[in-house]
Structures are given as C-alpha cells and as structure tokens.
Structure 1
Amino acid sequence: MKNILVPTDFSAQAENALKVAAQLAKNHDCDIYLLHMLELPLHKVDAISSYNDLPEAMYFMKLAHKQFEELMAKDYLKGIKLHEAVEFKEIFKGVFHACEKFKTDLIVMGSHGASGLREMIIGSNAEKVVRTSNTPVLIVKNEYEVFEVNHFVFASNFKKENHVAYTNAVKFAKLFNAKIHLLIIITASSFMTTKDAKSRIIDFVNISDFKNYTINIYNDESVERGIMNFSQSIKADLIGMSTHGRQGISHFFNGSISEDLVNRAKRPVMTFKI
C-alpha cells in the first residue's frame, strides 16, 4: 500500500478519517492525498471547467487552499507526505477521478450516516462512494486515538463472485496482522443448513493460503442485523464486505447490505467492489 485518498469537507467526521489514515500512512510509509470537492451549482461547475479564471473559482480555490494549510499543519500529520487536490465534480465522480490519477490503494472516508427518507432518496456521500468505487473504501465514523485491527469480520454469501473481494480483504488483514472472522448469516428467507454453510465457506477460502481465520455461521432476522450483532459479540475492530455497486432503480428497490452498513454500523466498515 503506497497511496491513501482521504476526501474531506473539513468536518469533524472527515478529520476522524484523516487521523486513521495518518496512522496507516505512518505504519506503512504511505502518501496521503487530501481531496476536497467544491459544491457549486451545476451551471457554475460547467463554467468553471471552461474558464478557470472566473472569480467564483478563484474565491473557492483560495478558501480551500487556506483550509488545507490549516489542516495539514496538524501535529498528527507531521512526517507524512501530503498532497492536496480540489475537484469541481460530484463527490463520487471526483473520488473516482482522483483514484485513477493518484493510483490510490485505499480510500479512507468519514461519515455520519444517513437515515430515513434522506437515505432512501440520496444516501450519504460515503454510500455513494462505496457504491461506485473500484478501490477499497474504509469508512470511519468515530475518532480513534489508536486504530488497531485485531479482529476483522468478513461477511459474505461465499459465492465465487466474491473471490476478488476476499483476496483484497486478505491483503488488508495481513497488513493489519489481523484475524479474519468469516461470517455467513442465515435468515428465514435464505435458509441453509449449518453443514452446507460450513462446506461452502471451506471451499471458498481454499483460493487463498491465508490460515488466520475462523468460520462463523450466525442466525438472525436480517443479514444486516446479523452482521452487526455478531460483530458486537466478538468486539470486532472492522467489518469487511463486498459491494455490487448497484445504481439507479436497481439500487432503490434492491438496496445493498454493505451500503446499509456504511450508514448504520458504529464500527468501521471496509468495502471491496465485486
């Protein structure tokens, strides 16, 4: 891991994510790319894209640069190679562009979640990034004086489509020196015997030589609730999941468990695109 992208709106939640990213950067000798998205009306965004010397562009760029200077002077960032970037795009498009440009290995992003009608219609910014990012995304909601991952829950249905996501999860487990707790949730609507569930997980993990894991089969009312309840029961440090990246009407009707967890789980969540 060499490059970490941290989208920031200079809020407390974004700084919580930056503090985690700073610890990872120091531990693994990474650069941090700070990305700020300027939220302007679409007609101004189009104009700024064509005319970089517009007064609106200059004002907001100078303001962002001042905020970057104040943020990058924080003690916890000393010794880290920092870069700043500003994009005049929607956040998920800006993050995608930045990941391509800076060859990002991990996105660390703060979130306060979204709920109710707002979540259904627009979702949180973190959810939008999770839904569209090809790069693993670590969502952080709280402040961590010391960010350690000893117990890493990887929840899945353990079908072949999740092999790439699991391979990436193993890379991060090795990076954190963490034990992976492989987890399948059994619900009334998706019943599977314990024997069949265990057999599926064992067949699945044979793709990797990683052996520092446990196998867990957990029953609950829903997959989302089961993941959160199991993670609570073992005091997990991190929840990992794959995401399909559904968009549009498909996402509205079907939803995504990983995106729901990003909004509702109190623990950090890491997502891996299928």
Structure 2
Amino acid sequence: MKKILIPIDFSEHSEYALQVAATIARKHKASLVVLHMMGLSEAVLTKDESQEMFEAIYYMKLAEKRFSEFLDKDYLKNIHVETTVQNYKEFHEIQRVAKDFDTDLIVMGSHGATGLKEVFVGSNTEKVVRTSEIPVLVVKNRTNNFKMEKVVFACDFNMDFVEPFKNAWNFFKKIGAEFQVVFINTPEKFLSNQQMQERAFAFMLHSGIDTTDVYDTTAYYCDYRLENGIYNFSNEVEADLVVIPTHGRRGLAHYFSENVGEAIVNHSDLPIMTFKV
C-alpha cells in the first residue's frame, strides 16, 4: 500500500477518517492524499472572467487556510501528506482523483448513525462506493486504536462477487490480516447446511485462490436479518473490520433488507470496507 486518499469537508467525521488513514499509513509506510471538493456553484462559474478568477482565488486561499488548520495534528507527524483542492460537485469524480494520484485505498468518514443501510444507501458515501474501482473504507466514529488484524468478509457466494472476493483476499493477505468469510443465513432466503456448503465450494473453486483454508474456515451464521447477522457475527469473533462486496450499477441498496432491525447494528462502531464488482 503506497497512497491513501481521504476526501474531506473539514467536518468531525472527516477527521475520524483522517486519523484512521494516518494509522494505516504509519503501519504500512504509505503517504496520504487529502482532497477537498470546493464545488463552486454554476452562478460563480458563469460570471465574467475577471470576477470568476477573483472568486476562485478567494475560495482556493480559504481552502488552503482551512487545510493548514485541519492538518495540524500530532498523529500526522512524519507522514507525507499531499493536499489537493478540486472544483468537483459530483462524488463520482473522486474516482478521477484516485487515479490521478495512483492511490490504493479511499478512507471516508460517514455521518450514518444507525446501521449499514443508513451508512450507505442514498448517502454521499454510497455515491463514492458505486464508482470507485479501488477499496473504500468507511469510518463512522473516532477510532483511536484502528487495526486490520482480523476482517470479516460477508458474502452470499453469488458468482458476481468472485472478483471483489479475490481482490479483498489479496489485499488483506498482503498486510497479513486474518480473513474470515461468513455466509448469513436468513429465514427469507433460508438454505440447508449442504446447500450453503455447496455454494461456498463452487464459489471458492471459481475464484481460483491458492488455498483451501478460506473454505475450511468459512462460517455459516443464522439470523433474522442480513444486517444483524453481519454485525452480530463480527462482534462475536471480535473482528476489526467488516468487508462487503458491492455492485456499482446498483449501489448497496439491494444488499440490505428494507426493514432494518434494531439490535447491535444500530450503534456499532465497526468500520466497513467495500470492494466493487
């Protein structure tokens, strides 16, 4: 891992993401790219050239001042940090910045407070997840001792998710993390043990990964709701991170049930990482 991109809006949640990114960067000797999207309005951009230039300079200087204050953190010492200000208004344009800077990971703060669906569906985070070709790590709360030693990859073994599974497995293999796969069995789409194991076997075989350990240690967990099951299992095994595959053209909405249960998911602090199909 060489570079990590952090889109910020100078909010508290942006700072949560920055601190996590710094922790990762320090451990893996990576650098940070901090992005602020100015998003100047069409009213500004359609003014006469001299006025447009004046206002653009003003907003740029303002962003630079805020960067200086925002990045004045002890945890950033001895970490190489680049800053960039872009006049983007659409969150899918973050993908362009990620490619320009050749980043390996995007870390974002989320204002979502009640479960996976609220973190993702209809949010700016979902817009980034939909378009990002590189992994996106979503941080909901301040995490002082962030680590990625044990991760849970939640998957229903749909063949569409083979590529994100392989990418996730390779990503965490490189950093030496324990990679735990779980299938959440719900009443709505109930499968027998044999059916789950057959799907898992076909999926792993198709993936072509060079180990049987992942299949042998795959967990099958029953719960009333998919979302509850993911977080309940992850907390039981004391995972540091939940990993989810996602389909870019549909976002994450299809992955979660409409009726989100209360339970532990509503206030879980677990960070979430997504890998796109």
TM range (shorter): 0.7 to 0.9
Change in CA separation of 1:5 and 1:203 when aligned onto 2, cut-off 3 Å = same
Aligned to 2:37: 37
What is the match of residue 93 of structure 2?
94
CA distance in 1, matches of 2:36, 2:266: 21
2:122 matched residue in structure 1: 123
What's 2:57 paired with? 58
Residue pair 1:113, 1:264 contacting (<8 A) in 2 also: no
Do the aligned partners of residues 264 and 246 (structure 1) sit closer, same or farther apart at CA in structure 2, a change above 3 Å counting? farther
Alignment of 1:269 with 2:272, yes or no, is yes
Determine the structure 2 residue equivalent to 1:173: 172
| SS in structure 1 of the partner of residue 59 of structure 2 | helix
Cα pair distance change 1:113/1:263, threshold 3 Å:
farther
Q: Deviations over 1:209-230 (max 9, x none)?
A: 2566421111222212211221
1:35 CA drift (Å): 0.3
Q: Is the 8 A contact 2:46 2:52 kept in 1?
A: no
**CA contact under 8 A between 2:22 and 2:75: conserved in structure 1?**
yes
Q: CA deviation at 1:171?
A: 2.5
In structure 2, how many angstroms separate the alpha carbons of the residues matched to 1:152 and 1:63?
39
The 3-state SS of whatever aligns with 2:34 is strand
Please list every run of 5 or more consecutive structure 1 residues that lacks an aligned counterpart in the other structure: none
Which one-letter code corresponds to 1:33 in the other structure? V
Partner of 2:13: 13
Matches within 5 A, 1:219-238: 219-238=222-241
Contact 1:158 1:201 survives alignment (8 Å):
yes
Q: 1:204: how far off? A: 2.5
Relative to the length of structure 1, the TM-score reads 0.85
Letter in 2 for 1:271: T
1:242 aligns with 2:258: no
Equivalent-residue separation in structure 2 for 1:186 and 1:13 (angstroms)? 33
How many angstroms apart in 2 are the aligned matches of 1:186 and 1:42? 49
Q: Deviations over 1:14-50 (max 9, x none)?
A: 1111111111111112121100011433343x448x8
> Partners of 1:219 and 1:171 in 2: how far apart?
27
The residue that corresponds to 1:209 in the other structure is: 210
Tell me which amino acid in the other structure corresponds to 1:195.
Q
Deviation at 1:203, TM superposition (A): 3.5
- Partner residue in 2 for 1:193: 192
- Matched AA of 2:145: V
When residues 218 and 51 of structure 1 are mapped into structure 2, their CA distance, relative to the original with a 3 A threshold, is: farther
User: How many aligned residue pairs are there?
Assistant: 265
d(CA) in 1 for partners of 2:33 and 2:50? 25
Distance 1:238 1:61 in 2: 36
How far apart are 1:136 and its partner, in Å? 0.5
- One-letter identity of the residue aligned with 1:151: K
The change in CA–CA distance for 1:16 and 1:198 in structure 2 (over 3 A counts) is same
Cα displacement (A) at 1:267: 0.8
Aligned equivalent of 2:80? 81
Cross-structure match for 2:183? 184
Deviation, 1:184, is: 0.9
1:152 aligns with 2:155: no
